Structure 1
Amino acid sequence: MKKTSSILASAAVLWATGIGIAASADNVIKIGEVNSYKAQPAFLEPYRKGMQLALDEINAAGGVNGKKLELISRDDNGNPGDSVRVAEELVSREHVDVLTGGFLSNTGLALTDFAKQRKFFFLAGEPLTDKIVWQDGNRYTFRLRPSTYMQVAMLAPEAVALKKKRWALVYPNYEYGQSAVATFKELMKAAQPDVEFVAEQATPLGKVDAGSVVQALADAKPDAIFNVLFAGDLLKFVREGNTRGLFKGREVVSLLTGEPEYIDPLKEESPNNWIVTGYPWYGIQTPEHTAFLKAYQAKFKDYPRLGSVVGYSEIMSLAAGIKKAGSTDSEKLADAFKGLQVNTPLGPIVYRSEDHQSTMGGYVGRTKVENGKGVMVDYRYLDGAKYLPSAAQVAKLRPAQ
């Protein structure tokens, strides 16, 4: 009897403990996040801070639907296979409610396919490839950041206005770079039929041989250059180009170069007068951004980068979607995100029903070296909704759901 009583007592304790754990788990929404922290720290460390700021604000206000948000992150080493492996771990072992993240386009596509196969909700924050919402789009995947197509479409009118005939192209040789150049060619040929592409340098991601690339571009004698390199590759390219005089007398149109993550490390070596997309945090005077900037600087004693905006907006989007759905069920979330409106530091955005792309826009301007560092000048914000194809066009690009 004593033994039986002991067993029953132990069982009661375990049962009670189990109820406590279940109750605790029921009071938390777990966000599983996958990213390339070790491979791309310049963007992703500020991004992590942006996510944390959003989490703190949401939880301090009582959470979402009465539940606190909890973030569980995993590093994918910038490898698509690792992205799928850690996503599976988050879903199967950590029992997360939703997935988010992604930086490189190839890892983003791997996570997009995972979401499709597992029928599990995934919000892609940063990967830019158009395939995430078009060719490889699926019911369970949505994307926050302006796509490759959107950003190139923002730059193309500026490039056309230069009235330069001979263009050279340089880009990282993977999905993002390839799609950016393909879109640039398409839009330029449509607007300027006599355009010529006289040189094309596709470099291994993170392993650019800047000397040979710059020399090959110079030998082609282009009138202008379209650049898609970023991070460490951009630094090497700019420094070598400055040394060899590649940019003298030539216009350069460049994706991402105005982002603090990539222009700040160049300091006084930053290029002058390039046409770029970026994030001039120091000059944005909207109420939404002013509030974000104040809160970010108070918490981290640092200025935000574009990654900070993406991380913050990513968590805010998930919170808004879960609140609207009243659930973390993937089917209900997929429905709730269609037409979802979210307030971000860059202003209000909408996740389009037709392709699951958000209408977040971007800043386009010129680079300039001021006080020993690169900044954006003469910039303006372009609404992302104006740089997306129509629902009819999307229907031809995206598989039927």
Structure 2
Amino acid sequence: MRFALRAVAFASFAAAVAVAHAQGVIKIGEVNSYKAQPAFLEPYKKGMELAVEQINAKGGVLGKKIELVIRDDNANPGDAVRVAEELVSREQVDLLTGAFLSNTGLALADFAKQKKVFYLAGEPLTDKMTWQGGNQYTFRLRPGTYMQAAMLVPEAVKLKKKRWAVVYPNYEYGQSAVAAFKTLMKAAQPDVEFVAEQATPLGKVDAGSVTQALADAKPDAIFNVLFGADLSKFVREGNTRGLFKDRAVVSVLTGEPEYLDPLKDEAPNGWIVTGYPYYGIDTPAHQAFLKAYEGKFKDYPRLGSVVGYTMIMSAAAGIAKANSTESDKLVAAFKGLQVDSPFGKISYRAEDHQSTMGAFVGRTKNDGGKGVMVDYTYLDGADARFQPSAEDVKKSRAAD
């Protein structure tokens, strides 16, 4: 009997401790493809850690410390939903963040909609996150595929090339990026022709056959959406076979250090890219971030670092504005929310929940065996040139 009473008392004590702990922290459930995409997500995780450290050093948010509860989704939409359910029901997180791949991001967005849980997507780039299929509970930080294509198309048009080929990973992100590029190019240059299309399995590009197929089509220019190991294989094979000789290339993401650095002495010259030239951004906001990041990790930041950092800073700002972690109050607070980021002030648009974070557009250069970005310009995501019209947004989100 005494044992039973002691067990009950202990259970009550443990429950009380758990409640007290929960009351003392704000738990952010983070779901991502850490094992599958380490090049981007290891720096991303460091960026989140820096943000948490800075927020908590100032007393946290609403008098509570921020705590990350991280799960790996194995780059699988089904696993993403499974761990999100575990974070919400068992860990009782206050909100969800994360996803790298667009298909896992869409799965988490649908989960957030069904469960009415606030979800801040840091990285998934498909336009369906915020436009077609966007929902009340999902917000997105990075500029999506339409925005990035819209930033690249003016430079592509200046090339005055008629015959284009495209190569992309054959899943949601790649399909979305190519669709946006084709639409915007045809509007800006009506005589453009797309003469070849290579859609490759994600992470399994057959670089030799892809390169040969593109070369056989004899395009004037190439639009590339490959990234990571697929990009490295494509560049190596393209260099070997002379695919890029006297041929323009426009490429999404290639200027990001996580993808440009591994190319080393194979880095291409003159590609028009979006990216992150951390070594040349001298604004006070970026210099403060760079100094703090290098001081903590003894390493330079990648684009993932900026995304992870800004995502957590956004979550903290939204919670502070809402004065709550309730999902519906967070949704209301995030509409029009302004946040200071390493790229300057950004905001989350009320009409589609997309942030106005922009991107750097420039050209690649092989600088003594290291790929860098040169002649770059920061294009602000708040610029109306890089957004669909309010009318189109309204139509695409009609089911929200």
TM-score, normalised via structure 1 length: 0.97
Query: Which residue does the alignment assign to 1:118?
Result: 115
Aligned-pair CA distance for 1:371: 2.4
Q: Deviations over 1:304-355 (max 9, x none)?
A: 0000000000100000001111111001111111000001111111000000
Structure 2 counterpart SS, 1:384: coil
Identity of counterpart residues, as a percentage?
76
Query: Which residue does the alignment assign to 2:395?
Result: 396
Structure 1 counterpart SS, 2:93: coil
Query: Which residue does the alignment assign to 1:135?
Result: 132
Query: Which residue does the alignment assign to 2:334?
Result: 337
Query: Which residue does the alignment assign to 1:259?
Result: 256
1:33 pairs with 2:30 = yes
Aligned-pair CA distance for 1:300: 0.3
Q: Deviations over 1:156-180 (max 9, x none)?
A: 0000111000101111111111111
CA distance in 1, matches of 2:397, 2:7: 56
Aligned-pair CA distance for 1:13: 5.3
CA contact (8 A) 2:43 2:302 kept: yes
Q: Which residues of 2 match residues 235-314 of structure 1 at below 5 A?
A: 235-314=232-311
CA contact (8 A) 1:137 1:399 kept: no
Aligned-pair CA distance for 1:372: 1.4
Aligned-pair CA distance for 1:21: 2.7
CA distance in 2, matches of 1:13, 1:204: 54
CA distance in 2, matches of 1:237, 1:9: 66
CA contact (8 A) 2:215 2:243 kept: yes
TM-score, normalised via structure 2 length: 0.97
Aligned-pair CA distance for 1:391: 2.2
User: Which residue among 43, 65, 69 is the counterpart of 1:68?
Assistant: 65
CA distance in 2, matches of 1:128, 1:111: 14
Q: Which residues of 2 match residues 307-322 of structure 1 at below 5 A?
A: 307-322=304-319
CA distance in 1, matches of 2:371, 2:5: 70
Query: Which residue does the alignment assign to 1:50?
Result: 47
Query: Which residue does the alignment assign to 1:384?
Result: 381
CA distance in 1, matches of 2:294, 2:33: 24
CA distance in 2, matches of 1:221, 1:9: 80
Structure 1: 5+ residue stretches without partners: none
> Are the structure 2 counterparts of residues 195 and 62 from structure 1 closer, same or farther at C-alpha, using a change threshold of 3 Å?
same
Structure 2: 5+ residue stretches without partners: none
Q: Deviations over 1:179-219 (max 9, x none)?
A: 11111111111111111111111111100000010011111
CA contact (8 A) 2:257 2:276 kept: yes
Structure 1 counterpart SS, 2:273: strand
CA distance in 1, matches of 2:340, 2:236: 38
CA contact (8 A) 1:134 1:399 kept: no
> Are the structure 2 counterparts of residues 94 and 219 from structure 1 closer, same or farther at C-alpha, using a change threshold of 3 Å?
same
The alignment yields a C-alpha RMSD, in angstroms, of 1.2
Query: Which residue does the alignment assign to 2:368?
Result: 371
Structure 1 counterpart SS, 2:213: helix
Aligned-pair CA distance for 1:20: 3.0
1:211 pairs with 2:208 = yes
CA contact (8 A) 2:133 2:396 kept: no
CA distance in 2, matches of 1:310, 1:194: 37
